[in-house]
Every structure is written in structure tokens, then in C-alpha cells.
């Protein structure tokens, strides 16, 4: 049996340990709960422009051309900065798809050495989209002739692309 004098002694170490345990639990819950929170403001790097673009649904015309497409072996993406990549190598007979992922129109036009004219072509070169490709649209072209072919966006001539066909 515990002597009466010992049973009435306060249990300070137990109370302090319990209080510390509760504080640790509360702080842990608060910390873990805040880890998934979305910051109120996103800080952007200096000199970097942030652009948000809404991507519209395909138009019926684009959906129809996609259904008729036989596929492509190379992709040239046109952005507000120009063609990406700026150099593409493909084999003779392969198709390249030009996608307009910019906010402005794109008009593919051959530069320098003129690509042989095709029955569907316009202008001097067969490598010509013959009209503007609107944003979020595409144009495909099958390259049947070997060589290095240069082209640009007729509407922004400084945006150029080289295609090496072997």
C-alpha cells in the first residue's frame, strides 16, 4: 500500500509531459495541414512573362482533317517564340505536321532553295501552306525530295525552320 503522504503529492512531471505532448500534437496537425495549401500569391521570376491560354475545342473542320490524316513522323510546333525545334531531320517520303500553338496566324513559306512545286502548291514553291494557319490548327506536308529546305512564317519572317530530308 502507498503511504498517505506520497499519494497526495502532485504529479508535476506527468502533467508537464502531458501538456508538452498536447502542444506537439496541435502543432503537428497545424503544420501537416498547411503543407498542401496553395500559396495566395505565386512569385514569378524577374523578366519572365506569364501567359495563360485557353485551348478551344477542335472546330469541325480540324476534326475532319484529323480523321483523314495518315499520321506524321515529325512535328514542328509554332509558338510565339518561333518554330520548336528549329531544325528537323526526316527521311524522304515522311510527313511533317506544323501546329500553330501561338496566339497569331502562321503562314508556311519556303525560303532560299525552292522546293519543287506540287499540284496543290501555290506560289513558287510546293512547300507553302497557301493560306494562314490559325491558332490551334495544323497543316501537314509530305516531303518527297531530299535536301535541306528552309522555310519561315511569311507573317513573321524572322521565325525560320530548317528541314533536312535524306
pLDDT digits (tens, 9 = 90+) for 85-120: 999 999 999 999 999 999 999 999 998 888 887 666
Instruction: For 27-51, write each residue's pLDDT tens digit.
Output: 555 544 444 443 444 455 677 677 7
Spell out the domains of the chain, with CATH numbers in brackets.
60-165 (2.60.40.420)
Mean pLDDT value of segment 57-73: 86
Among candidate residues 103, 122, 109, the one with its CA nearest the CA of residue 154:
109
Share of the chain above pLDDT 90, in %: 46
Residue-level pLDDT at 34: 43
pTM more than 0.75 = no
What mean pLDDT value characterizes the chain?
A: 80
DSSP for the chain reads ---HHHHTS--HHHHHHHHHHHHHHHHHHHHHHHTTPPPSSPPPPTT--------PPPPHHHHHHHHH----SEEEEEETTEEESSEEEE-TT-EEEEEE-SSS-B-EEEESSPPPP-TT--SS-SSB-SSPBPTT-EEEEE--S-EEEEEEETTEEEEEEEEEE-
Contact partners, residue 79, CB within 8 Å, separation at least 6: 101, 102
Amino acid at each position: 500500500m502507498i503511504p498517505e503522504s506520497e499519494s497526495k503529492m502532485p504529479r508535476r512531471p506527468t502533467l508537464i509531459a502531458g501538456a508538452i505532448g498536447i502542444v506537439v500534437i496541435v502543432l503537428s496537425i497545424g503544420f501537416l495541414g498547411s503543407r498542401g495549401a496553395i500559396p495566395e500569391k505565386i512569385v514569378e521570376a524577374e523578366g519572365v512573362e506569364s501567359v495563360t491560354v485557353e485551348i478551344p475545342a477542335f472546330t469541325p473542320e480540324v476534326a475532319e482533317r484529323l480523321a483523314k490524316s495518315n499520321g506524321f513522323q515529325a512535328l514542328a510546333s509554332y509558338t510565339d517564340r518561333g518554330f520548336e525545334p528549329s531544325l528537323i531531320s526526316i527521311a524522304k517520303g515522311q510527313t511533317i505536321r506544323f501546329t500553330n500553338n501561338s496566339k497569331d496566324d502562321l503562314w508556311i513559306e519556303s525560303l532560299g532553295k525552292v522546293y519543287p512545286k506540287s499540284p496543290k502548291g501555290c506560289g513558287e514553291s510546293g512547300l507553302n501552306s497557301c493560306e494562314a494557319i490559325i491558332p490551334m490548327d495544323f497543316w501537314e506536308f509530305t516531303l518527297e525530295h531530299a535536301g535541306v529546305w528552309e522555310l519561315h512564317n511569311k507573317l513573321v519572317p524572322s521565325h525560320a525552320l530548317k528541314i533536312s530530308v535524306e
